[in-house]
Amino acid sequence: MASHSSVSFIGSGNLAWHLAPALDNAGFVVKEVYSRNPKHAEALTERLYQAEVKASLDFSTSPSEIFIIATTDDSIEAIAQEIILPEESVLIHTSGSQPLQALQFAATGNIGAFYSLQTFSKSKKINFKDVPVFVESNTAEAETALLEMARAISNKVQKIGSEERKALHIAAVFAANFTNHMLTISKQILQQNSLDFELLKPLITETINKGLLLGPENSQTGPAMRGDLEILDKHMEFLQDDETLNEIYKLISQHILDQYQPD
């Protein structure tokens, strides 16, 4: 098989927006981009040196050796079954929670997973060198391709199994997605009371920094951690007009109470 130097992307979302240029700059030349929305594919090719928009999933005459599915989790299996690949190619998905078996019916024996543990937005630049990348593969050939590709763009590369990758993804949802949603809720509460979100920024920064420095389990503060039931009741009363928020507050406070006030 030829050197793993040419890549094609299926998908042009937030991850592809960052991963494709990173690979391009590291010598893994991106040749093609396919997307259900050709305008999105076109926008991504404009960030790349020589990539072209691909109109279908027929890659049988593709110059690439590596094919990266960077789409939503629920579309991976269908794409893997539909895609037509050159012989000996390597097909990879980028999901945190989908097992390697999601690619088992693809028209190649070389399959892998390439999970970048970071949050990606098109408007925010990311330095891939600092992004942990976790790889899994089913053949020596696929493993070589994945490790070469991962090490070309990241200083933190590790082999991992499907179950461990799922655990990482779930932990990441709590750490990043849920934390961000909590910030959204706090901003909405402030806005409803004519207060500025800027007021919370020093607290948010200190909370994250302290959790990383001391360990989150050693950094918990607040009424639930202290077992201050009177304050908890007052807060839930304040939120009584929003049943969902009241329930979220109660559920998380109870979880903290159970952990720090077991008696």
Query: Which CATH homologous superfamily contains domain 165-260?
Result: ProC-like, C-terminal domain (1.10.1040.20)
Average pLDDT of 167-183? Answer: 97
pLDDT at 114: 97
Q: How far is CA 83 from CA 19, 60, 107, 114, in A?
A: 21, 9, 8, 18
CATH 3.40.50.720 fits 6-160, yes or no: yes
Which is it for the CA torsion 59, 60, 66, 72, positive or negative?
A: positive
pTM: 0.90
pLDDT at 4: 52
CB-based burial of residue 121 (10 Å sphere; 0-12 exposed, 13-18 middle, 19+ buried)? Answer: exposed
pLDDT in tens, 96-108: 999 999 999 998 9
Confidence category of residue 5, pLDDT binned at 50, 70, 90: confident
Average pLDDT of 153-170? Answer: 96
Average pLDDT of 149-169? Answer: 96
Angle at 20 between CA 15 and CA 23, to 5 degrees: 125
Helix (H) / strand (E) element for 177: namely none
Average pLDDT of 1-17? Answer: 83
1, pLDDT greater than 80: no
pLDDT in tens, 209-255: 999 999 999 999 999 999 999 999 999 999 999 999 999 999 999 99
25, pLDDT greater than 50: yes
68, pLDDT greater than 50: yes
pLDDT at 261: 83
pLDDT at 262: 74
pLDDT at 2: 42
197 vs 262, higher pLDDT: 197
Q: How far is CA 56 from CA 44, 47, 111, in A?
A: 16, 21, 21
Domain range summary for the chain, segments of one domain joined by +: 6-160, 165-260
Average pLDDT of 48-68? Answer: 95
Average pLDDT of 116-137? Answer: 93
78, pLDDT greater than 60: yes
